[in-house]
Structure 1
Amino acid sequence: MDQYIVYRRVSTKRQGESGLGLEAQDRDIALYLDGYATGNHEVLASYLEVESGTVAGRPELSKAMDQARATGATLLVSKLDRLSRKVSFIASLLDDRRLRIKVACMPHADKFQLHIYAALAEQERDFISARTKAALREAKARGVKLGGLRDKTGQRNRAARIEADRRAQALEKIVIPLVNQGKTTREIAEALNTAGVMTVRNGIWQSSQVSRLLKRLEVLKT
């Protein structure tokens, strides 16, 4: 019988208390256990951490890993960034021969593939940060007034919208033909997941996310 130790992480106390962020993780983990776990399986324990992914010293993660090593169970997380956003930390976990790790939204990925994915994700975050800083420098050079918490929040929101628009346009050639074929949003989500296309948060597609993508594409055409 396959045995699992589940680890979930949220970044803020508010998320932990409200359940925001936990529902998606629970859903992904349930999908993995129901559809990808081989034969009979058992969840030995579940750990919840309220801490930033950039912090390496996390007591609940340490407990989860210790129990996984002691029992031979597999450490199961919904997404790779629930373990950490630092590729060096993830690499140290993947190099641990006593620790088996599975990521629910990448059910067939082995340790080597997870290592590559972590490195690519870190590069993408660094590039997005550099691009945002460059855009702010250009705006400042044009005389746009910058500064203050509200201004910075607005700038981040605008940058996020721009990135979402770009991603929607990149996916247009995939999803619109499916729409024209009469596919439902659920079927389109399944097609994207089968093709290995990740959401903007590196998760799996759901019907509601496809609906938002199609609405964004409609707005971009107006």
Structure 2
Amino acid sequence: MNEKYIAYLRVSTKEQGRSGLGLEAQKRDINLFISNYASEGDLLETYTDVVSGSNSSRQALTEAITRAKQLNATLIVSKLDRLSRKVSFVATLMEDKTLKLKVASMPNADKFQLHIYAALAEQERDFISMRTKAALAAKKASGAVLGGLRDKTNARNKASREYADIYAMEMWRNIYPMRQAKLSYREIANRLNRLGITTQRGRQFEAQTIKNIERRATS
């Protein structure tokens, strides 16, 4: 008997148009999993949360989990961060013996591996954030002005470039080993996106983004 699946999608209103996070992209990943590891009839139902900045409720997730248990089906998401970026929340789901879980972008990962991945991703995000903030603080302490110059366009643009340079150098520390391992720009972008790491503007990485960071950091 084939495994049955309940799909869960989540997007914030500001993410809907962004590649890698939009509803269509999530549906694509889940359908790709179903087409390769199951069959069309095995995807029973789909639940979707659209979460705005003022509303963090995830009623659809609760319903999807309940339904998956009722039908003895597997809850499937496109990426682990669609459940949550908080390892504590992911850990709670992993410890639920009555819930079966699958991540489409990591089709062979079991619950134990997903738990470890969530923890590593959270550590990576926290460390990149701390390191970037420390670099910016050091730059500001040295006398650089990093923003707030609305009436001085040239100074504001200079501050923006300085911030971009700092961000590029910090990100390059993570990207460089992957480039040394001969990963393509697209492969690196996908790996960072799976970790839930975002660009300087809070968006998903594209191959061109990685290329731009490399050029800025090595020029």
Query: Displacement, 1:58?
Result: 1.2
Gaps of 5+ in 1: 177-184
Q: Secondary structure at the match of 1:109?
A: coil
Structure 1 equivalent of residue 30 of structure 2: 29
Structure 1 equivalent of residue 193 of structure 2: 201
1 CA distance for matches of 2:31 and 2:95? 26
2 CA distance for matches of 1:32 and 1:87? 24
Q: Secondary structure at the match of 1:84?
A: coil
Query: Displacement, 1:102?
Result: 0.3
Query: Displacement, 1:94?
Result: 0.8
Query: Any conservation in 2 of the 1:77–1:104 contact (CA below 8 Å)?
Result: yes
Query: Any conservation in 1 of the 2:11–2:50 contact (CA below 8 Å)?
Result: yes
Query: Displacement, 1:84?
Result: 0.4
1 CA distance for matches of 2:24 and 2:89? 25
Structure 1 equivalent of residue 66 of structure 2: 66
Gaps of 5+ in 2: 151-155, 196-204
Query: Displacement, 1:218?
Result: 6.2
Quickly say closer, same or farther: Cα 1:19–1:171, change in 2 above 3 A.
Answer: closer
Q: Could you report, residue by residue, the CA deviation over 1:84-122 in whole angstroms, capped at 9, with x for unpaired residues? A: 011111111111111111001111111111111111111
Structure 2 equivalent of residue 50 of structure 1: 50
RMSD: 3.5
Query: Displacement, 1:64?
Result: 0.8
Aligned residue identity for 1:43: L
Q: Secondary structure at the match of 1:30?
A: helix
1 CA distance for matches of 2:149 and 2:83? 30
Q: Secondary structure at the match of 2:102?
A: strand
State TM-score, norm by structure 1: 0.72
> 2:82 matched to 1:82?
yes
Query: Displacement, 1:14?
Result: 3.9
Quickly say closer, same or farther: Cα 1:166–1:8, change in 2 above 3 A.
Answer: same
Query: Displacement, 1:147?
Result: 5.1
Query: Displacement, 1:10?
Result: 1.2
The 5 A counterparts of 1:1-222 are 1-11=2-12, 13-16=13-16, 18=17, 21-37=22-38, 41-51=41-51, 57-146=57-146, 148=148, 154=160, 157-175=164-182, 199-202=191-194, 213=210, 217=214
